[in-house]
Amino acid sequence: MAVKENIKEQTKSQVKIPRQYQVLIYNDDFTPMDFVVEVLVRIFDKKEEDAVILMLSIHEGSSAVAGVYPKDIARTKAAEAVEWAREEGYPLKVEAVCQP
């Protein structure tokens, strides 16, 4: 009987999957396309060919998703990209938004 009571008292542990955040890069008329490609390669670990395709998608539209990460990683990558852009004198807008 003690075994049954022990089992009832055990609680199930559930692993909560962290919310995922999209890192969006927005199109602007001032940031050079080559710089955006470099950001995608260095910060978001994209291959050169994939970075060029994504950059063209950003250029033709208003924005594109550079990657999907847990909150802290997404915010860090977005901040790193913006900081680098400011150092180079570009107004590149990059932000982490909660995935719908």
Residue 1 carries which side chain, given as an amino acid letter?
Answer: M
| CA–CA dist 94, 91 (Å, integer) | 10
pLDDT computed for residue 24 by the predictor: 98
> 14-98: which CATH number, 1.10.40.30, 3.40.50.300, 3.90.1150.10, 3.30.1390.10?
3.30.1390.10
Report the alpha-carbon distance of residue 31 to residue 48 in Å, rounded.
18
pLDDT value of position 18? 84
Nearest Cα neighbor of 67 from 81, 86, 83, 84 is 81
Nearest-angstrom CA–CA distance, 13 and 62: 43
For residue range 12-71, list pLDDT tens digits in order. Answer: 667 788 899 999 999 999 999 999 999 999 999 999 999 999 999 999 999 999 999 999
Q: Quote the CA–CA distance of 46 and 39 in Å, as a whole number.
A: 9
Asked if 49 and 91 touch (Cβ cutoff 8 Å), the reply is: no
Check residues 8 and 42 and name the one with the higher pLDDT. 42
- How is the chain split into domains, by residue range? 14-98
Q: By the 8 A CB rule, do 9 and 50 touch?
A: no
